[in-house]
Amino acid sequence: MYNPQIETMARPEMESLQLNRLQTTAKKVYENVEFYKKKFEELGITPEDITSLDHIVKLPFTKKQDLRDNYPFGLFAVPQEDVVRIHGSSGTSGKPTVVGYTKNDIKVWGEVVARSIVAAGGKKSDIFHNAYGYGLFTGGIGLHYGVEELGAAVVPISGGNTDRQITLIQDFKPRGIAGTPSYVLNIAEKMVEMGLDPRETSLEYGIFGAEPWSEEMRAKLEETFNLKAVDIYGLSEIMGPGVSIECHEAQDGLHVQEDHFFIEVIDPETLQPVAEGEDGELVFTSLTKEAFPVIRYRTGDIASITREKCKCGRTTVRMSRVKGRTDDMIILRGVNVFPSEIERVLLQIEGLVPNYQIHLVRKGSMDSAELHVEVSSQLYQEIAEDLTHAQIQKMKKQIQHLMKNTCLVTMDIVFNIPKAIPRSEGKAIRVVDLRNSNTVGV
Ligand code: DLL
pLDDT band at 57 (very low <50, low <70, confident <90, very high): very high
Residue 156 to residues 123, 150, 153, 179, 433, Cα–Cα distance (Å): 17, 15, 9, 11, 34
User: Cα(241) to centroid of ligand 1, in Å?
Assistant: 7
pTM of the model: 0.96
pLDDT band at 91 (very low <50, low <70, confident <90, very high): low
Strand 127-130 to 324-325 pairing: unpaired
120-139 pLDDT tens trace: 999 999 999 999 999 999 99
Output the ligand 1 site: residues, CB below 6 A.
89, 132, 137-139, 142, 209-212, 231-236, 240-241, 299, 301, 322, 325
* Domains annotated on the chain, with CATH: 1-326 (3.40.50.12780), 330-433 (3.30.300.30)
**Which residue's CA is minimally distant from atom 29 of ligand 1?**
235
Q: What is the pLDDT of residue 354?
A: 87
User: Cα(229) to centroid of ligand 1, in Å?
Assistant: 16
Least confident of 20-34, 101-115, 375-389: 375-389
190-220 pLDDT tens trace: 999 999 999 999 999 999 999 999 999 999 9
User: Cα(359) to centroid of ligand 1, in Å?
Assistant: 22
Secondary structure, 3-state, 387-399: CCHHHHHHHHHHH
In angstroms, the CA 24 to CA 162 distance is 46
Which of 112, 232, 235 is the pocket-test mutation for ligand 1 (most atoms within 8 Å of CB)?
235
Q: What angle do CA 309, 265, 205 make, to 5 degrees?
A: 55
User: Cα(279) to centroid of ligand 1, in Å?
Assistant: 18
User: Cα(72) to centroid of ligand 1, in Å?
Assistant: 21
